[in-house]
A and B are shown apart, each in its own frame.
Chain A
Amino acid sequence: MHELSLSGAIVETVEKHAAGRPVSVVSMRIGALRQVVPDTLEFYFGFVSKGTVCEDARLEQELIPARLRCAGCERSWEIELPIFMCPQCGPSGRVEVASGNEFEVESIEVEEAECIARR
């Protein structure tokens, strides 16, 4: 359900960079820890973007796997389930998220009118 709120945040971010130009593609990097359901995000994005520069834009989603690192034993591993305990150090480990928290607009493609002054 948070995909609705997140779609609003995407449109807001894109609007800042599009400078009024119509957007055809929005490329996102989304970490697995954000618990985003890609189809749901796409659905809400289509809905929320109506009447904005993002209307009819394609949403590309690159899923970034969740990787943890333990500062205690310097081990690094990928997780599928939300288990944030170091398999080696247990509760005494110092586990940090190396990747998986991303919710980032990586790039956008905008439509531009040909400009004569352009070199």
Chain B
Amino acid sequence: MHRTKVRVVEEALDANNTIARANRADFDRAGVRVVNFMSAPGAGKTALLECVVRDLPGVRVGVLEGDVQGSMDADRLASLHVPVTQLNTDPSFGGECHLDANMVRTALPELPLDDIDLLVIENVGNLVCPAEFRVGEDARIMVSSITEGEEKPLKYPLMFRACELVLVNKIDLLPHLDFDLDKFLYNLDTVNPGVERILVSAKTGEGIDEWRNWLSRVGSPVEEMV
């Protein structure tokens, strides 16, 4: 036996990125725009989708709901008569804490791509791993709720840098919390200068029109995203 050194020089996530590009090509062929929707658990992803999915002018929405277990969120959205496909990471994908390109690929045959213009992939609630794995999306959106504190962008820069839009949710709680909004926005600009942000409340409806407009712009069949 002897040892041979083999030069590799390859991003370890290339395998995932290759599958993500294949997903993206399939979505493009079907004329479907895709957003990867991410946040910590309980930030309000599902609630923010409930606010807008039924009411996107000219855009037919479908949701791919990622969870470790259960279909509670999918059931909530399905009750709004939106096509929802559940993707559980347990047991088929070892209970993974995020969706990756391959998991989304396995769900492709179940997605009604001919009947939708926009697919929202609601990722598993987690501020860490989802930021690492592209799934074939056109845009990435994250939700940060103000109950999580001002310092989250500094603690999870990978996630806060991995998105094109930050929804700052639960803004109705501002009078009741010690949360310093200016400090949060300063931290956000420190980590991802100038990233688009919308202050929203799924409860009171504040900012929801703007959120709806953003999403329908992305999902609109004629709009070209960069």
Contact = CB atoms under 8 A, between A and B. Distances in A.
A93 B157 contact: no
A28 B132 contact: no
Count class of interface residues, chain B: 35 or more
24 contacts: A2-B129, A5-B96, A5-B97, A5-B98, A6-B13, A6-B132, A13-B15, A17-B6, A24-B3, A28-B12, A33-B158, A35-B158, A82-B153, A82-B154, A83-B191, A84-B191, A91-B194, A95-B193, A109-B3, A111-B3, A112-B1, A112-B2, A114-B1, A114-B2
Contact of B157 (A16, A82, A103): A82
Given A83-B190, A85-B189, A91-B194, A106 B8 contact: yes
Count class of interface residues, chain A: 35 or more
A108 B132 contact: no
B132 A2 contact: yes
A31 to B, nearest CB: 11
Interface in A44-64: none
B9 A104 contact: yes
Most chain A Cβ neighbours within 10 Å, of B12, B13, B157, B158: B12
Given A2-B129, A5-B97, A108-B5, A91 B13 contact: no
A24 B5 CA distance: 10
A110 B3 contact: yes
B12 A6 contact: yes
B122 to A, nearest CB: 19
A110 to B, nearest CB: 5
Contact of B193 (A16, A24, A91, A102): A91
Most chain B Cβ neighbours within 10 Å, of A10, A16, A17, A105: A105
Nearest to A93: B193
A9 B158 contact: no
A95 B128 CA distance: 23
B147 interface: no
Given A5-B97, A13-B14, A114-B2, A84 B190 contact: yes
Nearest to B160: A82
